[in-house]
């Protein structure tokens, strides 16, 4: 393990502890939250380093006693046997982790080819993530949505947040970052009169929600257009131009929002999504520039490969990146996603320990 890296992280932990003990930091809740999240992420490392240091000290003491009294030899051997596991745990914690793991997320779900059936499936995915969030005590907020005629969704942006500081720095992103990609469904659509199984898909984009300090946006580089909100099938739901479309001119990123009744509220929500998208763009550019950097977890729907299949006739869910298959699709859609997410997390952990950062390329 890198003693220099360990020392640096423990110094950072001590400095963050001092900052959090200063009442002045809580005058700025955004700063307090950011510092608290980083501190929480370093708590497991601090505990592991303390436990290893204490165990090593106990071993030295036991061996000194054993030199005077052989009765202590068994105790020394017992203590020595615990060291490899503690050293492995600390070495694992020293592996650079995803810098966004403590962040909240914005999930964008878009219906793909397949018409109404794809929109209905996108609605199923929205409910699945909402129920998963509820199981974990997270907060959800639909930022923007375009419903379809039959009750599905053509396009929806869902914000998911933890309450307070996530334990161990494991925020929503650490669990749901694997969900970005094309999700395929195989089932008999409600619009199918002959009972034939159809295949359609929906795209999922997972973005770490950016804070003001993460992304700097020059107002002069934005083009803001307003238009009238519309409902399913183009039906007008607003008599004023309250919907907002924001274009970030340097990158060409376009965000629109029409859920709120006021133009100001829609603009604020659109800016949330824009910050998250620009953070993802910056992360991808940084990873592309560094050959040893981790592959960007966030990818656009257009270039995402199929990552998962939901087969209704077989009640089967299959994640193609790691070969995971389970026959509990009904439970997964009800929000019980920990099985597949645990498998993805474990595969990523094993890959990082082996020095392989290409888990989800496959």
Q: Give the DSSP letter string of 201-220.
A: EEEEEEEEPPPTTT----GG
- 106-115, 121-130, 182-191, 230-239: least confident range: 230-239
Interval 125-167: pLDDT, tens: 999 999 999 999 999 999 988 888 888 899 999 999 998 777 7
Q: Which residue has the higher pLDDT, 31 or 337?
A: 337
β-strand pairing of 105-111 with 139-147: unpaired
**pLDDT for res 233:** 41
DSSP run (H or E) holding 264: helix 263-289
Question: What pLDDT score does 231 carry?
Answer: 56
Residue percentage of the chain with pLDDT more than 70:
88
Q: What is the pLDDT of residue 58?
A: 93
Main-chain phi, psi angles of 202, to 5 degrees:
-135, 145
In this predicted model, which residue has the larger pLDDT, 176 or 305?
Answer: 176
Task: Identify the H or E element spanning 273.
Answer: helix 263-289
pLDDT tens-digit readout, 291-347: 333 343 333 333 346 899 999 999 999 999 999 999 999 999 999 999 999 999 999
What is the chain's alpha carbon radius of gyration, rounded to the nearest angstrom? Answer: 24
Tokens of 217: 């946006």
Residue 83 scores a pLDDT above 80: yes
Six-digit token pair at 91?
């070495």
Q: What is the distance between the alpha carbons of residues 47 and 10, in angstroms, rounded to a whole number?
A: 10
Give yes or no for a contact between 182 and 201, defined as CB atoms under 8 angstroms apart. Answer: yes
Residue 305's pLDDT is 66
Q: What is the DSSP letter of 105?
A: E
**b/e map of 203-230 (b: 16 or more CB within 10 Å)?**
bbbbbbbbeeebbebeeeeeeeeeeebe
Specify whether the CB–CB gap between 280 and 208 falls below 8 A.
yes
* CA–CA separation, 31 and 24 (whole Å): 11
**What is the structure's pLDDT at 360?**
41
Q: How far is CA 301 from the centre of its chain?
A: 16
Cα angle at 273 between 271 and 276, to 5 degrees? 110
| Segment 35-64, tens digit of pLDDT | 888 898 899 999 999 999 999 999 999 999
Task: Round the average pLDDT of the chain to a whole number and report it.
Answer: 85
Q: What is the pLDDT of residue 357?
A: 53
Query: Using 50, 70 and 90 to split pLDDT, how confident is the model at 252?
Result: very high
Q: Residues 151, 116: contact at Cβ < 8 Å?
A: no
| 161 touches 138 (CB < 8 A) | yes
- Report the pLDDT value the prediction gives residue 354, as an integer from 0 to 100: 77
Q: In residues, how long is the chain?
A: 362
pLDDT for residue 71 is more than 60: yes
| Residue 77 clears pLDDT 80, i.e. is over it | yes
| pLDDT tens digit sequence for 216-249 | 889 999 999 988 776 544 444 555 678 999 999 9
Beta bridge partners of 199: 186
């Amino acid at each position: 393990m890198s003693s220099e890296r360990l020392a640096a992280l423990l110094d950072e932990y001590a400095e963050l502890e001092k900052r959090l003990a200063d009442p002045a930091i809580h005058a700025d809740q955004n700063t307090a939250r950011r510092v608290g999240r980083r501190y929480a992420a370093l708590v497991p490392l601090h505990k592991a380093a303390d436990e290893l240091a204490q165990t090593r000290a106990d071993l030295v003491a036991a061996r000194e006693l054993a030199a005077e009294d052989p009765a202590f030899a068994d105790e020394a051997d017992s203590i020595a046997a615990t060291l490899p596991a503690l050293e492995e745990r600390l070495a694992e914690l020293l592996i650079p982790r995803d810098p966004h793991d403590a962040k909240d997320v914005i999930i964008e779900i878009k219906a793909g080819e397949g018409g109404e059936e794809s929109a209905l499936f996108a609605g199923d995915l929205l409910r699945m993530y909402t129920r998963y969030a509820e199981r974990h005590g997270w907060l959800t907020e639909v930022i923007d949505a375009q419903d379809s005629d039959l009750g599905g969704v053509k396009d929806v942006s869902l914000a998911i947040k933890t309450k307070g500081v996530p334990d161990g720095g494991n925020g929503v992103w650490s669990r749901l970052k694997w969900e970005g990609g094309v999700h395929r469904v195989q089932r008999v659509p409600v619009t199918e009169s002959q009972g034939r199984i159809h295949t359609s898909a929906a795209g999922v984009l997972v973005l770490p929600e950016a804070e003001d300090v993460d992304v700097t946006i020059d107002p002069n580089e934005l083009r803001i257009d307003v238009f009238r909100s519309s409902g399913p099938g183009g039906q007008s739901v607003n008599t004023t131009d309250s919907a907002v479309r924001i274009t970030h001119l340097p990158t060409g990123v376009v965000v629109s929002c029409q859920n709120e009744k006021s133009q100001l509220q829609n603009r604020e929500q659109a800016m949330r999504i824009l910050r998250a998208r620009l953070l993802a763009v910056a992360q991808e550019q940084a990873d592309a520039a560094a050959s040893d950097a981790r592959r960007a977890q966030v990818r656009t729907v257009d270039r995402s490969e199929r990552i998962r299949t939901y087969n209704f006739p077989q009640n089967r869910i299959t994640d193609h990146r790691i070969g995971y298959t389970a026959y509990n699709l009904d439970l997964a859609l009800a929000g019980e996603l920990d099985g597949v997410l645990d498998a993805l997390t474990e595969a990523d952990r094993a890959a990082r320990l082996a020095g392989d950062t290409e888990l989800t390329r496959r």
